[in-house]
Structure 1
């Protein structure tokens, strides 16, 4: 759940930064590059979120990261 929240927060931060850039520098070519960047970052964010939905994801099973009993 934390991974999903952080992925969305990171994407929204990128969106805000690039939105401010396009707002202050209104050029068509810059807008197209920003649009392409947001589309690719959005696809990557969705893939990461879908990958974490699988039941066999290593991040869901912390038993490998625990120290052995003493």
Structure 2
């Protein structure tokens, strides 16, 4: 597995764990305003993951 694929796999795993954490949080604290914030947070994290996974953005300077 190349370093790029390993980075993508680890990023996907991190996003899945983050999604699960926020899902559990919202499951126990069911408030509409928290749901909006969870949705925005997941959307922003998903956008960042997509750009990193497709190579449109790089952390390397």
TM-score after normalising by structure 2 = 0.82
CA apart distance, 1:51: 1.1
Q: Which residue of 1 aligns with 2:13?
A: 9
Give distance in 1, aligned partners of 2:11 and 2:52.
Answer: 8
Give the match for residue 50 of structure 1. 54
Q: 2:25: which partner in 1? A: 21
| TM-score calculated relative to the size of structure 1 | 0.72
CA distance in 2, matches of 1:30, 1:10: 21
Gap runs ≥5 in structure 2? none
Q: Which runs of 4+ in 1 moved over 2 A?
A: none
Q: How many residues align?
A: 53
RMSD of aligned alpha carbons: 1.4
Equivalent in 38, 42, 47 of residue 38 of structure 1: 42
The structure with more radius of gyration:
1
